[in-house]
Chain A
Amino acid sequence: MKRDWLPLALIVALALGALPLVASLPTWVTLTVAGLAMGMMIFMMASGLTLVFGLMDVMNFAHGVFISVGAYAAASVLIAMKAEVQAPSLAANLTAIGPAVLAAIALAGALGWFFERVVIRPVYGDHLRQILVTMGGLIVVEQLIIVLWGPDLIPLPRPAALSGAFIFGDAAIERYRVLAVAVGLVLFGAMWLVLNRTKIGMLVRAGVENTEMVESLGYRIRRLFVGVFVAGSGLAGLGGVMWAMYQESLSAQMGMQVMVLIFIVVIIGGLGSVGGCFAGALLVGLTANYTGFLAPKLALGSNILLMVLVLLWRPRGLYPVGR
């Protein structure tokens, strides 16, 4: 099967192209790792949304609250296990991080299940109502977070073993960013295996292209919808934990704040394409970091410009999925 390597080559070209502009190898290494880490975290948060868009044709503007809910669930566990979090050993840290991550995925996934049944199901096939009810759901859940956890920004110190940086010559690479890259790669690998090596994965890929034909082959697509929605919400929860620890704080609005980047990634990747989402997230992460260093005033608009350029090159995204 012929593979399309051009979007991946574009990521490499972007990174190499930034090197002469940055003009310092240690700084470039630091920025590149930071960009990759940011990209991986955006990928975690966006991968579920792209499948929901592609498979279910649902415009879920409430996806950001799954990120926030995941972060708050994890923060509650981490704050309750403060001693383990502050302990200098990685093993002790992991005894707190493990349950925190599981709580984030479970709570965000459960909220996703509730959303699919109560909010989304009545408005399948109606984009305008989807936008309205998911925006409404977003506001309700954000307010619930404020009621339960309070309106203030909550500080979330990183576990001791994940603080600090590795020093290579003059380059400093934060440990947490290395972890984010590793988790992102493992997640992408796992998603690739599930989508390409299992029958469920084949069904999801087929459903993204043509739900009616999947039903005509005898598969109940609604069950697949629920599964994908819950999994996507759980992944958003995981992304929320990673993002909150990256920012070292969390607020009820944190999910909504990152949604702009997530939508850009989903659009430039190609609706429904996990591979496109991965490539798009890395491009967005790298662009944000290089521009933030080279031209801070352009940082805000750089990813919009990136989206425009990608869509001029490939109007249906980096890896378009046929419909």
Chain B
Amino acid sequence: MAEPMLRLSGVHTHIGQYHILQGVDFDVARGGLTMLLGRNGAGKTTCLRTIMGLWRASKGNVRLDGHDVTRLATPELARGGVAYVPENMGIFAGLTVRENMLLAARGGPPEAARLAWIFRLFPALEQFWNGLAGNLSGGQKQMLAIARAIVEPRKLLLVDEPTKGLAPAIIGNMIEAFRELKRTDTTILVVEQNFHFAKSLGDTVAVMDSGRIVHTGDMGALVADAPLQAKLLGLSLEAQP
């Protein structure tokens, strides 16, 4: 069996006096989209930040593409092919859309073909190319944050709640964009609260609760099992459009 793109084994993370991740174990399969679900406060964002090296794992290890990256600093992880879209999107409001993209393309200016593909995914970015990123709408900012992460091919894309605060129509566009991304065989790990979005895109799923993984498996199986959804996620998540 092929080594997964990402493997977390017994990962613990402390933030100050709080013990947030309490032994997280899960794999992210190569070339697939894994959804990391769970209630508020379950530790999903901490998990992504620990993978990205923004918070240090106090125990356990993180392996990327077969290599132990637990102690790598964030810039080294990014250079190793991990792209991160944080919950607050992390766009640079005082820079133009173009400047945001230029910074993300470390290997030089973005390739024309890649940029054309991104503009097909997110046409608004071409329209506001020389405009300040801070003047974009919430949905456009999210598009920029994701475009920045994929401006160059990456091994692994970490996305934290891409639908947060977005209107249903924009969420529809976002689903289409992720479907297109999946066709490129990029490995993607998405933290999400919107179950409709999650079931539309996820190949596999991991569910967190109280800093631990409480379920892993195929997304299709979870979608087909309503009582399991209710047990793991609560009805409020399923009720979302």
A residues with CB within 8 A of B: 1-2, 199, 202-203, 205-206, 208-210, 212-221, 321-322
Contact = CB atoms under 8 A, between A and B. Distances in A.
A202 B106 CA distance: 13
A321 B99 contact: no
A209 B93 contact: yes
B79 A218 contact: yes
Q: Is the interface of A mostly helix, strand, loop or mixed?
A: helix
Interface of B: 52, 54, 73-75, 78-79, 84, 86, 90, 92-96, 99, 102-104, 106, 130-132, 134-135, 148
A321 B134 CA distance: 11
A1 B90 contact: no
A322 B94 contact: yes
A218 B106 contact: yes
A210 B99 CA distance: 14
Given A209-B92, A216-B74, A202 B103 contact: yes
A216 B79 contact: no
Contacts of B94: 205, 208-209, 321-322
Contacts of B93: 209, 322
Nearest to A321: B94
B78 A217 contact: yes
Contact of A218 (B78, B86, B96): B78
A28 B30 CA distance: 72
A210 B130 contact: no
A292 B6 CA distance: 67
Contact of A202 (B74, B75, B86, B102): B102
Contacts of B75: 215, 218-221
B175 to A, nearest CB: 24
11 contacts: A199-B102, A202-B103, A208-B94, A212-B74, A213-B90, A214-B103, A217-B106, A218-B79, A219-B75, A219-B106, A221-B75
Nearest to A213: B90
Contact of A215 (B78, B132, B148): B78
